[in-house]
Amino acid sequence: MSLQGKTAIITGSNSGIGLGVAWELARAGADVVLNSFTDRDEDHAIADDISRETGTKARYIKADMSKGAECRDLIAQAGACDVLINNAGIQHVAPIDDFPQDKWDAIIAINLTSAFHTTAAALPMMRAAGWGRVINIASAHGLTASPYKSAYVAAKHGIVGMTKTIALETAQEPITANAICPGYVLTPLVEAQIPDTMKEYNMSREQVIKDVMLTRQPSKEFATVEQLGGTAVFLCSDAATQITGTTLSVDGGWTAL
C-alpha cells in the first residue's frame, strides 16, 4: 500500500501510539504532520528523523487539543489532510464522587471534543481532494468499562459513536471513518512503569506484565505501536474501502470476554 502524495495529520503524536502510527504512515509513503501541545526542539527533531529515514515530508505543529480553535487551526496550518488520526488523549483515575471537575473537563475536551473540531475542519479538505480517511484511536474502553475511569470511558464511548456518525454522513463519498480500539499497548510510558511495579509487588518483569498489567488482556501480550500503525495503514488501503463506521479491536481478546 502506497500513500505517496497523501498528507496525514496525527494528533498527540510526539510519543507513544501517535508517534508509532506516524512512523508507519510515513513508511507507507504519506507526508505526516506531528502534533502536541509543546514546542520543543526535540519535537521538531522527531519530524526531521522521520523525513530523513522515510524520504517523506514530516512537520511538527504545536496545538493544544483542549482548545477548539487550536484544533481547527492545526488542520488549517497543515494545508491538506487526506488522513486524519485523532489520537490525542489523557487519563485520570478516581471514583465518580471524588472525580475532579477540571480533570473531567480536560479529558472530555482532549479525548473527545478535539476530534470533533479536527474532523469538522478536515472533511472539506478530504471532499476537495476526492478521498479521505478518518481514523479515531479509541480504546477497549470505548466498548467496555472499568471502575474509576468515568471520564475516559465516556470519552472513548463518545469517540466510537461519533465515528459511526461521520461514516454515515460520508457513506456515499470516497471517505471512510473507523475507530481502532487498542487494549494495553507497550509505549515508553508503560515501559517506564514496569520497574516500579516490580518493586511494589516483588515480582519479576514477566509476572508484572502477565498478572498485574495484562490481567484483562487474554493474550497476556502487549499490543505494539507498530501493530496499531499497521492497522491504520490497512484502513487507508483499497482493501478497506468498504470498511466504515466500525471498530477494529487490537486488544489481545480483551473485548471477547
Residue 190 lies in a domain: no
215 within a domain of the structure (yes/no): no
The answer to whether residue 33 sits within a structural domain is yes
Alpha carbon 238 to its chain centroid, in Å, reads: 21
Asked about 152 being catalytic, the answer comes back as: yes
Query: pLDDT by residue (tens digit) across 35-94?
Result: 999 999 999 999 999 999 999 999 999 999 999 999 999 999 999 999 999 999 999 999
Residue 16 lies in a domain: yes
Residue 216 lies in a domain: no
**Domain holding 33: CATH number?**
3.40.50.720
Given the residues 60, 152, 184, 201, select the one marked as catalytic.
Answer: 152
Contact 82, 131 (CB under 8 A): yes
Is residue 204, in this structure, part of any structural domain at all? no
Given a cut of 90, whether residue 189 has pLDDT beyond it is no
**213 belongs to a structural domain:** no
Least confident of 15-29, 50-64, 70-84, 189-203: 189-203
Domain count for the chain = 1
What is the model's pTM? 0.97
C-alpha angle 149/21/179, rounded to 5°?
A: 50
**What is the SS3 assignment for the chain?**
CCCCCCEEEECCCCCHHHHHHHHHHHHCCCEEEEEECCCCHHHHHHHHHHHHHHCCCEEEEECCCCCHHHHHHHHHHHCCCCEEEECCCCCCCCCHHHCCHHHHHHHHHHHHHHHHHHHHHHHHHHHHHCCEEEEEECCHHHCCCCCCCHHHHHHHHHHHHHHHHHHHHCCCCCEEEEEEEECCEECHHHHHHHHHHHHHHCCCHHHHHHHHHCCCCCCCCCEEHHHHHHHHHHHCCHHHCCCCCCEEEECCCHHHC
- Per the domain annotation, does 201 fall within a domain? no
Of the chain, the percentage scoring pLDDT greater than 90 comes to 98
Residue 51, domain extent: 7-185+224-256
**Residue 1 predicted with pLDDT over 80:** no
